[in-house]
Amino acid sequence: MAAPRRRMGLEKVGVPLLIILSPLSALLVRPVNWIGLYDVGRAIGKGNFATVRIARHRIAKTKVAIKSIDVSALDRENLVKLEREVKIVKIIDHPHIVKSYEIMRVDNMLYIVSEYCSSGELYETLIEKGRVAEDVARKWFSETASAVSYLHSQGIVHRDLKAENILLGKNSKIKLIDFGFSNFQTGDQLLNTWCGSPPYAAPELLLGNSYDGMKADIWSMGVLLYILVTGGFPFPSDSVNKLKRSVLSGVVKIPYWVSVECADFIRKMLVLNPGKRYSIQNVLQHRWMYIRNDTTKNQVQLLDPIPSSSIDIRQQCKLNPTIMMFMQQHGKWSEEQIIDAVVGRDFESPIFATYELLADKVKKGTLEGTGEEYPRRGSRGSILSGKANVDEQPLTPTISAHQLAQLNLSSPDCDSDDSSNSDLCDDSPLSSMEPQNHEKQFGLPRGLDVIGNRFENRRHTLCASEQLLSPNMMGQFPPPNLLLNNFMMNPPLGFPPMPEGQTAEFPLSSLHPALATFPMADYTKMLPVPKNERRASAGETLLPTNIDLQQHLANLSANPASFPTVEEEGRSYLAKYGGKRNTVHSLGNQMGGGIQNPIPRYQRSPYSKAPPAERRSSWASPSLSAQQTNHLETLFKRALQTNNDMSRLHKEFKNLSHGCAQSQITNEGSSLACPQISITDEYNRQHNIAPSASSFDPVSIFQKNAQEVVFGQRPATAIGFSSTSFSGMSTPEQTTRSMDDRVRSIVCTLPFAEVIEELKSSLNILKIPFSEFHEMVYEPQVTEMRRLSLPSGVEIGVAVLPPEHKAHVEFAIINNDSPTSEMLCDQLICRLRMIDPNWSSE
Ligand SMILES: Nc1ncnc2c1ncn2[C@@H]1O[C@H](COP(=O)(O)OP(=O)(O)OP(=O)(O)O)[C@@H](O)[C@H]1O
């Protein structure tokens, strides 16, 4: 039963501060809710094997986050990862990476103490607020890029970059966390271990190839930026196989509201071929990062090169005498002890952590105007002389111990400043734990009733021995897809073949001699575990290797499932979570604890807050229902399985089209919602097909390249059959349409802006309200399109299109049969013709 809820202050520890600080008394007296020099409060996060709790350092009075891991629950791969994480967090130091202060090992538990970020995960913010404006995205993304740049410059790859691993600190400052999958990578070295979260995984990882971890990080950054500016995943899918297929199709659909520069930037990061994908240097230099002056200023500041070893620089500095004195008084440590720990960067010593926490406090004091310079760790010189290398005259005005005390040693009662223990004395059950040993308090899996509701939906990163693919999912490989097959048989540059056996990337023995005796796992041989063990992000064995994939493709099932559209995902997401602050995950660890969340994280699409108008990706192509789309897709796939027997497909489409006339297969009852072939803009671009080319014959393209037809995944995408030539504009979901009399087109020779002005003023004169939307046409370069949307269901699109680069204007009546709409279109066309004698019709 959960302990009674009551507010809990530090005084509940019940042991005088000085006694607590004595190392001896710490051994003898172990109050119920502390570890080392920290008073521990509620849980603020939960991973697969870790629980993260807020805590407060007793001397510095700084809030910290303590990640506790029960090492005895880890298998050897996770043990290796944990030790690697420990090694990496000790050496990294960057303003946009969560700073670690201390590593504690007590019995079976390992504790990582780090800077506390008060504003939660970026992911939660996105779920709460939906997509963000590009300016905000730019700030967050550039801070992330700055952190990644630093890591790469240190030869470290993160390998699990995602919105869930980005926290927001004070002033919405980005702080990167979770180095559980990080590793070192030097030169041209390739990595083999599968790490990360499927929606963020680079294609080379999805294929199980060796990969360049830095380029894989860039792919994840591309996904991150996409999510920031669209609120949805670039490759929405409900299984890893579908995700893989979607990623490998090479199609990245970017909603019209995303700026040209940003769309270009995203595409440069989401390049299939890692050899051609942006590097972090390219990322930092992309023009989108410098669009606004005020942000540019920030960028320069943020992206200033961080010294490759900031630690070296620190070591040239002196220890801050005030802090030293303060520590000697309050911590009862000798000068030598402090110097040894600080200069030696002994993360396993509370002295080092105390110094660092105090130094950061003082630094904060500087920011608040105390004039103090950043006090740094001491130099070895003082140790050689047997004396602290402490300035008699401290560096620039140093705050006094008294000031420091005032700054940091606020009352232990709950208050609102950083040093407050308000989070420690919350009324969560953990704060009022019953007396028990600290292992129980920290490490063992607890029921969610104890942890608190926030974690019901907590997501995890998957580890090596966990798995994502249920046997079911493994059986759902798609039908032979030409693109995918080609890709695998002839991997493009930079996709080396999968090695026969994979090896661990980190020498076990360098972590601990005993680890060298562990047999290494052959990650390729791991078996799938049941579906209910699925995790949100995946470890080494979660995806089949290249070889597995080919095997699966050879044995592929004839039962392909369909893609849900983003719209569908968004709808079901909203229906389930209705804009509430919810994060979703599949909880539980391998040891058996936890709750199963019904929806894996990669399945979700936080396509939440865009107004309905914005969710429409194509201005004049009404959507088919999910069922209709599924049906059409099934027809298509069946045709593929019968050796491209298109005649049957044609026949079936014809039947479907008949139904269409009676509005039986439409959403809106409009004949325009009849099934049509959707051939993406990417397809057209690749094949240099101009939208107005009369030779464009979707049927023959469909027949010849049936396997290359990409089924859209976004709203308003239609697939189907049409035998007439294409007419009209290329939209993100370019749809072939018949020359329906409900669609009128005209090509003007006037400048784009003038055409728009004329249309708008005509509508104003006619007192017809309209909404104006800026959209992008991919034709073949990205071109701006303006859409005027009338409540009566008339949509007007204007774009300057090649080859003549003239303003194409298209009028479509999308959801009514009213003759007034047709008259209105005629009237508007008439006005355009009057002002443009050189107009032509399409
Ligand atoms: N420094 C911190 N400040 C505030 N919250 C934190 C901090 N570190 C971690 N958290 C919270 O705890 C959660 C789990 O932390 P972390 O990702 O490091 O654990 P993990 O075991 O590696 O998780 P996973 O299994 O998902 O990889 C985070 O998502 C975050 O919400």
Type of residue numbered 734? Q
| Spatial separation of the C-alpha atoms in residues 597 and 585, rounded to whole Å | 6
- Nearest alpha carbon, ligand 1 atom 1: 116
User: Domain 34-115 falls in which CATH fold?
Assistant: Phosphorylase Kinase; domain 1 (3.30.200)
Region for 751 from its dihedrals, namely left if φ exceeds 0, alpha if ψ lies in -120 to 50, beta otherwise: beta
**Minimum-distance ligand 1 atom for the alpha carbon of 164:** 29
Q: Are 372 and 317 in contact (CB under 8 A)?
A: no
Residues paired with residue 798 on neighbouring β-strands, in sequence order: 786, 809
Task: Confirm or reject: Cβ of 461 under 6 Å from ligand 1.
Answer: yes
SS3 144: helix
Percent of the chain beyond pLDDT 90? 21
Structure tokens at 225: 């930026």
92: closest CA among 37, 153, 165?
153
pLDDT value at 368 more than 50: no
- Which 3 state secondary structure label does DSSP give 515? helix
pLDDT per position as a tens digit, 506-543: 232 232 332 222 222 222 222 222 222 222 233 322 22
Does the beta carbon of 524 sit less than 6 angstroms from any atom of ligand 1?
A: no
Query: Is the distance from CB of 624 to CB of 669 less than 8 angstroms?
Result: no
pLDDT of the residue at 325 = 86
Residue 188 confidence (pLDDT): 79
Residue that wins the pLDDT comparison between 321 and 813? 321
Give the pLDDT band (50/70/90) at residue 645.
Answer: low
Average pLDDT, the chain: 60
Which candidate, 184, 185, 205, 180, places its Cα nearest to that of 193? Answer: 205
User: What is the phi-psi region of residue 290: left when phi exceeds 0, alpha when psi lies from -120 to 50, beta otherwise?
Assistant: alpha
Instruction: Parse the chain into domains and list their residue ranges.
Output: 34-115, 120-289, 321-362, 740-834
Q: Say yes or no to pLDDT of 742 above 80.
A: no
Paired strand residues for 801: 806
Amino acid 189: pLDDT: 84
Structure token pair of residue 549 = 């994939």
Residue 641 has a pLDDT of 60
Give yes or no for residue 47 having a pLDDT over 70.
yes
Amino acid at 589: N
Predicted local confidence at residue 81, as pLDDT? 86
User: Rounded to whole angstroms, how far apart are CA atoms 74 and 82?
Assistant: 9
* Per-residue pLDDT, 662: 32
Task: State the burial class of residue 444 (Cβ atoms within 10 Å of its Cβ: 0-12, 13-18, 19+).
Answer: middle
> Mean pLDDT, to the nearest integer, of 786-807?
81
Backbone angles phi, psi at 520, to 5 degrees: -80, 145
Question: Among 116, 57, 108, 43, which residue's Cα sits nearest to residue 82?
Answer: 108
460 lines ligand 1 (CB under 6 A): yes
- Residues recognised as catalytic: 160
Per CATH, the number for 740-834 is 3.30.310
Instruction: Count the Cβ atoms, other than its own, within 10 Å of residue 654.
Output: 11
CA-proximal residue: ligand 1, atom 18 (nearest):
178
> Which tokens hold the place of 115?
């800077």
pLDDT level of residue 781 (50, 70, 90 thresholds): low
Closest alpha carbon to 794 in 808, 812, 810: 812
Give strand pairing partners of 51.
Answer: 46, 68
For 258-280, write each residue's pLDDT tens digit: 888 899 999 999 999 999 999 99
Report residue 53's pLDDT band, with 50, 70 and 90 as the boundaries.
very high
Per-residue pLDDT at 96: 95
Kindly state which CATH superfamily the domain 120-289 is placed in.
Transferase(Phosphotransferase) domain 1 (1.10.510.10)
283 within 8 A of 127, measured Cβ to Cβ: no
Q: What is the pLDDT of residues 275-308, one digit of tens each?
A: 999 999 999 999 999 886 454 444 434 444 444 4
Asked whether residue 297 is marked as a ligand-binding residue, the answer is no
Q: Ligand 1: distance of its center to the CA of 535 in Å?
A: 15
Q: Is the CB of 629 under 6 A from ligand 1?
A: no
Q: What is the ipTM score, two decimals?
A: 0.97
The type of residue at 518 is: F
Amino acid at 170: K
More confident residue, 559 or 754: 754
Smallest CA separation from ligand 1 atom 25, residue: 47
Atom of ligand 1 nearest to the CA of 175: 1
**Which range is least confidently modeled, 80-94, 132-146, 580-594, 770-784?**
580-594
Q: Which atom of ligand 1 is nearest to the CA of 118?
A: 4
Beta strand pairing status for 782-789 and 771-778? antiparallel
For residue 451, what are the CA distances in angstroms to 426, 448, 454?
A: 13, 5, 8
Helices vs strands, H then E, count in the chain:
31, 16
Three-class secondary structure of residue 523 per DSSP: helix
C-alpha 192/C-alpha 207 separation (Å) is 11
Task: Name the least confident of 4-18, 120-134, 258-272, 737-751.
Answer: 4-18
447 Cα–ligand 1 center, Å: 18
Comparing 303-307, 384-388, 411-415, 560-564, which segment has the lowest mean pLDDT? 384-388
- Candidates 331, 368, 318, 216; CA nearest to 277 is 216
CA of 310 to the centre of ligand 1 (A): 25
